[in-house]
Amino acid sequence: MTEIIRSLADLSGRYDAVFCDLWGCLHDGQKAFPAAVAALQAFRAGGGTVVLLTNSPRPKDSVIKQLDGLSVPRDAWDIIATSGDAAQMGMLSGAVGRRVHHIGAPKDEVFFTTFADDLQAYAASQPPIERVALKDATGIVCTGLFDDLTETPDDYRAALLLGKTLGLPMLCANPD
pLDDT for 50-84, tens place per residue? 999 999 888 888 899 999 999 999 999 999 999 99
What percent of the chain clears pLDDT 90, i.e. is strictly above it? 73
* Cα 40 to Cα 118: distance, rounded to the nearest angstrom: 25
> Using 50, 70 and 90 to split pLDDT, how confident is the model at 137?
very high
> Using 50, 70 and 90 to split pLDDT, how confident is the model at 13?
confident
> In terms of domains, do 77 and 88 share one?
no
Cβ atoms within 10 Å, residue 129: 22
pTM score? 0.82
Chain centroid offset of residue 68 CA? 17
> Do residues 141 and 173 touch, judged by C-beta distance below 8 A?
yes
Question: 98 is in which domain, residue-wise?
Answer: 84-172
Mean pLDDT value across residues 2-6: 89
Which DSSP string do the residues of 70-82 spell out, in sequence order? TT--GGG-SEEEE
The last residue of one of the domains, among 68, 83, 98, is 83
> In terms of domains, do 23 and 79 share one?
yes
